[in-house]
Amino acid sequence: MAPRRLLALASLLALAVAATPPGSSWSAVPRKTVPYAELKDVAKRFSQGGVSHYLTLTLDEAETLLYVGAREAVFALATGTVELKAAISWEAPTEKKAECIQKGKNNQTDCFNYVRFLQSYNSSHLYACGTYAFQPKCTYIELSGFTLDQVAFEDGKGKCPYDPTKGHTGLIVDGELYSATFNNFLGTEPVILRNLGPHYSMKTEYLTSWLNEPHFVASAYVQESAASSTGDDDKVYFFFSERAVEYDCYAEQVVARVARVCKGDVGGARTLQKKWTTFLKARLVCSAPEQQLHFNRLQAVFTLPGTDWQDTTFFGVFQARWGDVDVSAICRYHILEVKKAFEGPYKEYREQAQKWGRYSDEVPSPRPGACITDWHRQNGFASSLELPDNTLNFAKKHPLMDESILPHRGRPLLLKKDANFTQLVVDRVSGLDGTIYEVLFIGTGDGWVHKALNLGSRVHLVEELQVFEPAQPVESLVLAGRKKLLFAGSRFQVAQLPLADCSRYQSCTDCVLARDPYCAWSRNVSLCVRTDGLNGSQLVQDVLSSDTRACTLPQVAKQGPITPKNVTVVAGTDLVLTCRLGSNLAQALWTFEGRALVAQQALVLQDARLRALVVPGAGAQHSGTYRCFSEEQGARLGGEVYRVAVLAGSGVPLETRAPLESLGLVWVVAVCLGALCLVLVLVVLSLWRRLREELGKGAKAIESTLVYPIELPKEPPSPRFVPSAASDSDEKLWDPASYYYSDGSLKIVPGHAACRNGGPPGATSPPTAIPGQPLHSPTRIHLGPLRGSSSNGYIRLALGAEERPPCADLAEELRRKLQQRQPLPDSNPEESSV
């Protein structure tokens, strides 16, 4: 028994779920997870009683004020303090609401004035539009008094959606409003419109080949006339998803698009009168070929301007569903790629074949859809009004380009499963090495913001911040670059965050490994500090390779001594010790009585991060000091120390040794021990219950609290999990089936489920791939109330009786590892154990 038990120690069960190695393109893991409670000190929040839907955020030019468009209200907040400076109540009048309800709209959700557009119009006024109980209205807001111009109310048709849930985008360029929305009450007539300003209003043709049930997400103004050698025009780009017309066999298919119009377009004279003559659109592709994932649902686009317009970059946020798993992606597009598609061949509908294909005949001159340039002016076409009918007719029939626009490097910049990315902003920041880095702030559907560093070939997720709790989608994000602030809007709140909170990194190692280009370790003050304005040799930062060697020289990481935790368990208990890693990319190294536990035993799953140590059925020989170190890229980040005492089970030995005359004393001792045992059992039970509660909540905070021994009920294992080659009587010691909850769910301690077969990652048997269509996973995965990255979450896998166990690969791998362990030398268990 004893050697077997020792073997148990030798085989300390490293229950860790395979995590994606950092750098893999599949599902990046944020290095740090910052829960809501830890954001309290740095996040500032604004909300006003009775007001909801803080959806529209706009900064003034000086970044001193943040204008917030909400439901029936507009606010001006001071940036930095988010103090309320001024407020406007802009309610839809009662009779409008009554009309709205009469027309069958919901009085709880639809029949309010949702402010959906808020932008600077001129130096003294903002322009604002609201849904106004399904009768959109726009007006000016005078800034000095922050008052709504009640007289200048304009019809908001085409400028603002009727339906608050519908996608919409707009921007003001030189006093003209470009907007993309639905033009009618029913939401059937999509339009890209230009009005206000000196020209008559311009719009898209109402043809499905132009716009087909679009969902508009963003627009961008690019000044392509600047220093143009061809006398090119400025352009306005629109980003949306729509139902594709060109894939006739997949009638339901949605694709992502970019469309553009030229600023100087004034429409045709006869054909395309007051319609865009320069409307062209192309497909935006965002696919991960290895994962067979195609993203078509465009959620948001951020335009990052460069020093020249040629350096403009568009970042697209995409979502897809893969069976039951949500997957999000960021794709990065360069403007010259977009330009190339618009200058390439057109797509054409061939009546006879009833199919769309590349148009290969002669293209009329001047080229349809092109902006008016010097060449046009020299050839007698001074404006779009002078374009010939054949050019305009062609343009009307051929709005779609044949070539799609591929993302930079032909793949997503970032892929994340179990995530719904909703919004994105990008900042450029100069590292101490002089390199300009792109930092992405990505909002999610459950109220988190991911901070990601673009390293060119891959993305490093610096951290994930829980901005909104209870979980609410991040509906808008705005970045104040000079003030180094990020604003996020949700249904119930506006939150302000610093772009970096360097004090979160408590040691030099941590500070450097974070690769946060806003932060560096200051040797002078021994703190991780913001780099802005600072420089010099006293700062340690290495964004590119995160080399921590510079940390070890004069100042070692400031760390207090680790306080040991006393753990006392009754013999036979399955002991679970966890290691707080301080970083989701770190791994734990365990020692027992000063000797490494893992090194000699190839027990750790491939790519696994050992976070919890499981000693099944602990015995007296397992008493002692356990230590874990958190190690990341060879650098140590801290750890835990446990002093484990394993108590003999029932107090039987005492009885036998007790002399008869001191029987009274024995009884006292026995009663005391009994009481102690009872207390221990109660403690274990309550802790177990607490653990289960935490698991139920979604286990972000658990890492720091789960330091207890947990008694796991041993239930008859599911036949699938019984190793077929189970001949050793000790098999059940290693049987993963020991780690079930009473409800039949498997406890996996803790890690990241890389369900190779059950989930999208590198699906070995890819389902039939419809080009561009979201794929469906072959098995259904029940990951419980698991959030976001779940990189350090506890995953409960519900094992349905009929269904094939999810993450079968994981179970399989575990089983394999457990079997591999059997041939461990039995001869000298003392040696092999530690």
Ligand X SMILES: *[C@@H]1O[C@H](CO)[C@@H](O)[C@H](O)[C@H]1NC(C)=O
Residues that bind ligand X (CB under 6 A): 107, 121-125, 140, 566, 643
d(CA 129, CA 117): 5
Query: Which is closer to ligand X, CB of 62 or CB of 227?
Result: 62
**Minimum distance, C-beta of residue 645 to ligand X, in the bound complex (Å):** 8
d(CA 589, CA 613): 10
**Minimum distance, C-beta of residue 263 to ligand X, in the bound complex (Å):** 20
**Minimum distance, C-beta of residue 140 to ligand X, in the bound complex (Å):** 5
Query: Which is closer to ligand X, CB of 200 or CB of 206?
Result: 200
**Minimum distance, C-beta of residue 101 to ligand X, in the bound complex (Å):** 7
**Minimum distance, C-beta of residue 91 to ligand X, in the bound complex (Å):** 13
**Minimum distance, C-beta of residue 107 to ligand X, in the bound complex (Å):** 4
Contacts of 683 (CB under 8 A, 6+ apart): none
d(CA 449, CA 479): 13
For residue 296, which of 250, 219, 246, 243 has the smallest C-alpha distance? 243
**Minimum distance, C-beta of residue 195 to ligand X, in the bound complex (Å):** 13
DSSP state of 71: B
**Minimum distance, C-beta of residue 168 to ligand X, in the bound complex (Å):** 22
Query: Which is closer to ligand X, CB of 121 or CB of 741?
Result: 121
Query: Which is closer to ligand X, CB of 122 or CB of 704?
Result: 122
**Minimum distance, C-beta of residue 108 to ligand X, in the bound complex (Å):** 6
CB atoms within 10 A of CB 209: 17
* Nearest 10 degrees: Cα torsion 762, 768, 773, 777: -50
For residue 272, which of 207, 181, 362 has the smallest C-alpha distance? 207
d(CA 385, CA 378): 15
d(CA 422, CA 316): 10
Query: Which is closer to ligand X, CB of 7 or CB of 143?
Result: 143
Distance from CA of residue 453 to its chain's centroid? 13
Residue 468 and residue 495 in contact, taking contact as beta carbons nearer than 8 Å: yes
Residue 555 and residue 524 in contact, taking contact as beta carbons nearer than 8 Å: no
**Minimum distance, C-beta of residue 225 to ligand X, in the bound complex (Å):** 23
Query: Which is closer to ligand X, CB of 200 or CB of 375?
Result: 200
**Minimum distance, C-beta of residue 123 to ligand X, in the bound complex (Å):** 5
Contacts of 155 (CB under 8 A, 6+ apart): 136, 137, 138
Residue 385 and residue 268 in contact, taking contact as beta carbons nearer than 8 Å: yes
Query: Which is closer to ligand X, CB of 50 or CB of 380?
Result: 50
For the chain, the 3-state helix, strand and coil shares in percent, each to the nearest 5, are: 20, 35, 50
d(CA 589, CA 609): 9
d(CA 117, CA 126): 10
Q: Is 654 helix (H, G, I), strand (E, B) or coil?
A: helix
Query: Which is closer to ligand X, CB of 125 or CB of 780?
Result: 125
Cα–Cα distances in Å, from 149 out to 118, 128, 144, 456? 14, 10, 12, 48
As a whole number of Å, the end-to-end CA separation of the chain is 18
Distance from CA of residue 524 to its chain's centroid? 36
CA triplet 757, 610, 804: central angle to 5 degrees?
25
Helix (H) or strand (E) holding 378: helix 374-378
Query: Which is closer to ligand X, CB of 199 or CB of 782?
Result: 199
Residue 193 and residue 159 in contact, taking contact as beta carbons nearer than 8 Å: yes
**Minimum distance, C-beta of residue 329 to ligand X, in the bound complex (Å):** 40
Query: Which is closer to ligand X, CB of 248 or CB of 593?
Result: 593
**Minimum distance, C-beta of residue 76 to ligand X, in the bound complex (Å):** 17
Query: Which is closer to ligand X, CB of 106 or CB of 184?
Result: 106
Residue 74 and residue 118 in contact, taking contact as beta carbons nearer than 8 Å: yes
Query: Which is closer to ligand X, CB of 123 or CB of 457?
Result: 123
Cα–Cα distances in Å, from 783 out to 60, 292, 434, 753? 43, 22, 43, 9
**Rg (Cα) of the chain, in Å, rounded?**
32
Q: For the range 653-659, what are the long-range contacts, defined as Cβ-Cβ under 8 Å and sequence gap of 24 or more?
A: none
Query: Which is closer to ligand X, CB of 121 or CB of 250?
Result: 121
For residue 228, which of 173, 306, 310 has the smallest C-alpha distance? 310
**Minimum distance, C-beta of residue 32 to ligand X, in the bound complex (Å):** 27
Query: Which is closer to ligand X, CB of 144 or CB of 727?
Result: 144
**Minimum distance, C-beta of residue 152 to ligand X, in the bound complex (Å):** 7
Query: Which is closer to ligand X, CB of 568 or CB of 773?
Result: 568
